[in-house]
Copies of this chain bind each other. A is one copy, B any other.
Amino acid sequence: MPVVTLLSDFGTADGFAAAMKGVILGIAPDVQLVDATHDIVPGDVEGAAWALSQYWALYAPGTVHLAVVDPGVGSARRAIAVVADDRYVVAPDNGLVTRVLQAATSWRCVEVAEPVYMRPQPSSTFHGRDVFAPAAAHLASGLAFERLGPPVEQPCLLSIDPPPRGEDEVEGRVVHVDRFGNLITDIPGEWVESSWLFEVGGRHVGNLRRTYSDVGVGEAAVVIGSAGTVEISMRDGSAAKEYGVARGDPVKARR
């Protein structure tokens, strides 16, 4: 039974997420639906790209990841489908797939353009229901990827570059703040050693620990997080609040 995961910024209370699921099951009654999240901050493509990066590759080949954070719905932005390391992603062409493409060994992309794989007379305000969900369902049902539309050579990408790396220093950034207030950075764990020192929000936060609870309550712990990058946490507290730091803010690592 193929799996279709769903990510959106729709919340659930308006019935929009449930509408997408109904459309998918109408086309592909045998899929297993998996809610990834509907709690992306409205319009936060960057946050959606990060969330997607945490799970897409953990699903079996053939899985279809539907990801709809689509502030440009109805505009000239394209709808796209990507096959990356044998997993599919169906999403608006606004950079949402950036981290998938960066992590994949190989990928191809097509535009979702063929009307026969959309709902009849798609609305201009809800492509999640009328364009993305049907495309995801058809892929899950075995439709050949190329049938969705013409190839896309250059999907839109967010500018996510590795941080500048000196001999003894890395100038990283916070790329995600999670529900616990942990500051997840773009500094690869392999670039730093246990003796290195870290700075965020103009304050020193010590050196690398093995895990969150290797410090006392209310103290900062710098760890290599589950995404493989440096992460600044606060035991039983929120590092984001304590340091007044948000996504995009700098984090320094020094030997």
User: Does A223 lie within 8 Å of B125, measured CB to CB?
Assistant: yes
1/0 per residue, CB under 8 A from B, across A110-140: the answer is: 0000000000000111100110000000000
1/0 per residue, CB under 8 A from B, across A36-57: the answer is: 1111111100010011111100
Which residues of chain B have C-beta atoms less than 8 A from A75's C-beta?
A: 211, 213-214
User: Does A25 lie within 8 Å of B54, measured CB to CB?
Assistant: no
Sort chain A's interface into a size bin.
35 or more
How often does this chain occur in the complex, in copies?
A: 3
User: Does B210 lie within 8 Å of A124, measured CB to CB?
Assistant: yes
Which residues of chain B have C-beta atoms less than 8 A from A54's C-beta?
A: 14-16, 18-19
Q: Does A176 lie at the interface of the complex (its beta carbon under 8 Å from any beta carbon of B)?
A: yes
- Residues in chain A within 8 A of chain B (CB atoms): 1, 3, 5, 7, 9-19, 21-23, 25-26, 29-30, 32-43, 47, 50-55, 58-60, 63, 71-75, 123-126, 129-130, 176, 178-180, 210-214, 223-226, 231, 236
Determine how close the nearest CB of chain B comes to the CB of A91; give it in whole angstroms.
14
Which residues of chain B have C-beta atoms less than 8 A from A130's C-beta?
A: 226
Alpha-carbon separation in the docked complex, A180 to B226 (Å) = 32
Which of A35, A47, A63 has the most CB atoms of chain B within a 10 A radius of its CB? A35
User: Does B58 lie within 8 Å of A16, measured CB to CB?
Assistant: no
15 A-B residue pairs with Cβ-Cβ distance under 8 Å, sorted by A, are A7-B18, A14-B179, A15-B36, A18-B36, A18-B51, A18-B55, A21-B36, A22-B58, A26-B58, A26-B59, A42-B180, A74-B211, A74-B213, A123-B225, A124-B223
Find A15's partner among B52, B63, B214 (CB 8 Å cutoff). Answer: B52
